Amino acid sequence: MTTSLMIVIAGPYASGTGGDPALVRRNLDRLEEAAWPLFEAGHLPMIGEWVALPVLASAGASGPDHPLAAQVMYPTAARLLERCDAVLRLPGESRGADQDVAIARERGIPVYTDLSEVPGVGARPAGTVTL
C-alpha cells in the first residue's frame, strides 16, 4: 500500500477558453478526470477550483471572471500548496498551473507530469481507466 498523499491537480482551467463557459467546463472536466485514478491509488486529489469557486460565490462574485477572482483564485492554490504533498501537472498552457509547479519546486514538493509517475497509480490493474 502506498502512503496516502494529498495531490494538487494543476492544469489549464480558464487558459485558452476566451471566457467561454463550455470550454472552461471542459478544462475542469479534464482536471477532474485525473481525480479518480489518484483516489483509487489511495491518494486525496485536490483541485484549486474546488475550493476557490465556492469561496468566490460566498463573497458574492459571479465567477472566475469577476474582479474579486484575482484575490481568490491564485491565493487559494498557494494556500493548498502549503498543505499538499505533491502536484500532478497536466499538459496544456496555464500560467496558474505553471505558478503552482514553481511554488511546489521552491518548497521541495514532488511534481509529477504523468499519472504513471504517481506512487501506486502506475501499479493499477489492467483494464482500469488511464488518462
Question: pTM score, two decimals?
Answer: 0.88
Q: What is the pLDDT of residue 19?
A: 83
- In this prediction, residue 130 has a pLDDT band, given cuts at 50, 70 and 90, of very low
- In this prediction, residue 80 has a pLDDT band, given cuts at 50, 70 and 90, of very high
Domains contained in the chain, CATH given: 6-117 (3.40.50.10400)
* HEC sequence for the chain: CCCCCEEEEECCCCCCCCCCHHHHHHHHHHHHHCHHHHHHCCCEEECHHHHHHHHHHHCCCCCCCCHHHHHCHHHHHHHHHCCCCEEEECCCCCHHHHHHHHHHHHCCCCEECCHHHCCCCCCCCCCCCCC
- Asked whether the predicted pLDDT for residue 68 surpasses 60, the reply is yes
Question: Largest Cα–Cα distance of the chain, in whole Å?
Answer: 46
- Asked whether the predicted pLDDT for residue 131 surpasses 70, the reply is no
- Asked whether the predicted pLDDT for residue 84 surpasses 50, the reply is yes
